[in-house]
């Protein structure tokens, strides 16, 4: 199996062509600062003791405490988590947040667990990594198959371990447990802001554009809901079990309502239903959805969804990356050759970490903002950075991904350089 981290590192090759970096900086980007693997004992409902494997990787903290989500998924591996922590490092710098990058995860199918088992697992994870996290060291957040409820359990466990209230150690918490208004849909809202900035630049109107969304979790759903509200025609939606398509358009809120209401969730925190169970729409595969003849393809599932094997079949003119790493480096080259514009993940999905930063600030200050203020500050931050990246891409005639990485890398390099490099110490 190809290394996700090795492929992620290939993004830097083009970036280094457009900036002068010392060897110290390039060497720093090759290695995570800390990688932790922990065994997580959980007493199951039937009395068995089961051991799960968890990870936490802190990639770089030059610009501040590390920050990154926790995912629960059966395919979680150290290689994947290392890659995600690398992307988080770039992303935080792209948004000019005072954070480094980290990521964590547990190798588990959370849908196989009861709510009680899920809580025990979440608390076990915090016990396993408590020594390396904290509001001034490493801050956690939700990711794939984790949510506000799970973040609340984790925050409570950390409070019990440290014997003090430290809500800033975890963001994405429930609002009544020191969470921030606007955090739940921040990733989808931020992605929409980035897309709208690009379309404004090209003088394109939402009402004239069709959209397909692969991935109907938190980020994908809220993007689709907000995009539909401002006039985009959502014609295709896919989740982990399949996809539906309607040329006349879909209403994301109704699709989600059907998915949730027509299935007994039982003891699960997750919806067992699928968008495919909706009637009166054409059922297609997730792969067919990726290759639909639409104006905008939104990839909001997992990494490596578009690779060298299917990149040539992508008919959309714009790919919006809400997932982390959904397009491989080989696919990037094919899409660029075919004239497909990719709005890169390190910018497009940065709304989540930006509002997580706002939550962290509110936790530390003990002063909480109204939702309108959160949303306004998110829009201001992400549109400012998007415009800067678009301008940089035009100026240097490079892809939007290379421009985004260049912006982030230069900020990280500045911090590394100001700590002293070989040239400084040798007085060159």
The residues that are catalytic are: 103
Q: Which of 365, 368, 369, 364 is nearest to 134 (CA)?
A: 364
How far from each other are the two terminal CA atoms of the chain, in whole angstroms?
A: 43
Q: How far apart are CA 28 and CA 8, in angstroms?
A: 15
Q: Which residues contact 55 (CB under 8 A, 6 or more apart)?
A: 35, 36, 37, 38, 76, 77, 78, 81, 104, 105, 106
DSSP per-residue codes, 371-409 = HHHHHHHHHHHHHHHHHHHHHHHHHHT--HHHHHHHHHH
Chain centre to alpha carbon of residue 138: 17
- In the three-class reduction of DSSP (H, G, I as helix; E, B as strand; rest coil), residue 50 is classed as strand
The radius of gyration computed from the CA coordinates of the chain, to the nearest angstrom, equals 21
For the stretch 247-251, contacts whose Cβ atoms lie closer than 8 Å and that sit 24 or more positions apart, written own/partner, are 250/281
Q: How far apart are CA 119 and CA 276, in angstroms?
A: 30
Neighbours of 324 (CB within 10 A): 24
Q: Which residues contact 223 (CB under 8 A, 6 or more apart)?
A: 187, 188, 189, 191, 192, 213, 298, 300, 322
Do 378 and 218 meet the contact criterion of CB atoms below 8 Å apart? no
Count, in order, helices (H) and strands (E) of the chain: 16, 12
Chain centre to alpha carbon of residue 129: 21
Six-digit token pair at 60?
């770089």
């Amino acid at each position: 199996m190809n290394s996700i981290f090795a492929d992620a590192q290939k993004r830097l090759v083009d970036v280094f062509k457009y900036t002068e970096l010392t060897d110290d900086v390039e060497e720093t980007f090759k290695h995570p600062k800390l990688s932790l693997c922990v065994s997580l004992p959980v007493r199951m409902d039937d009395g068995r003791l089961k051991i799960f494997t968890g990870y936490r990787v802190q990639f770089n903290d030059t610009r501040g405490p590390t920050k990154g989500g926790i995912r629960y998924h059966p395919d979680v591996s150290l290689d994947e988590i290392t890659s995600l922590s690398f992307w988080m490092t770039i992303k935080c710098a792209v948004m000019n947040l005072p954070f480094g990058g980290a990521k964590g995860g547990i190798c588990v199918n959370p849908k196989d667990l009861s709510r009680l088992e899920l809580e025990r697992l979440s608390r076990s994870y915090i016990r396993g990594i408590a020594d390396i996290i904290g509001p001034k060291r490493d801050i956690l957040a939700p990711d794939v198959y984790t949510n506000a409820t799970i973040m609340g359990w984790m925050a409570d466990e950390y409070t019990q371990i440290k014997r003090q209230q430290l809500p800033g150690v975890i963001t994405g918490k429930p609002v009544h447990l020191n969470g921030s208004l606007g955090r739940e849909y921040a990733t989808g809202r931020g992605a929409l802001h980035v897309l709208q900035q690009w379309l404004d630049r090209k003088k394109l109107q939402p009402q004239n554009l069709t959209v397909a969304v692969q991935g109907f979790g938190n980020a994908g759903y809220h993007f689709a809901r907000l995009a539909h509200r401002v006039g985009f025609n959502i014609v295709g939606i896919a989740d982990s079990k399949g996809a539906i398509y309607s040329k006349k358009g879909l209403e994301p809120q109704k699709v989600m309502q059907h998915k949730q209401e027509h299935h007994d969730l039982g003891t699960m925190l997750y919806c067992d239903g699928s968008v495919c169970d909706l009637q009166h729409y054409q059922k297609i595969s997730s792969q067919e959805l990726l290759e639909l003849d639409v104006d905008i393809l939104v990839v909001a599932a997992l990494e490596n969804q578009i690779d060298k094997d299917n990149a040539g079949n992508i008919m959309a003119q714009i790919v919006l990356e809400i997932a982390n790493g959904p397009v491989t480096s080989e696919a990037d080259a094919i899409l660029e050759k075919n004239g497909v514009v990719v709005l890169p993940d390190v910018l497009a999905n940065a709304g989540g970490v930006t509002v997580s930063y706002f939550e962290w600030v509110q936790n530390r200050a003990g002063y909480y903002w109204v939702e309108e203020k959160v949303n306004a500050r998110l829009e201001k931050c992400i549109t400012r950075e998007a415009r800067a990246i678009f301008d940089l891409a035009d100026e240097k005639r490079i892809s939007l991904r290379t421009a985004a990485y260049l912006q982030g890398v230069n900020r990280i390099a500045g911090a590394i350089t100001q700590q002293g490099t070989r040239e400084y110490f040798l007085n060159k």
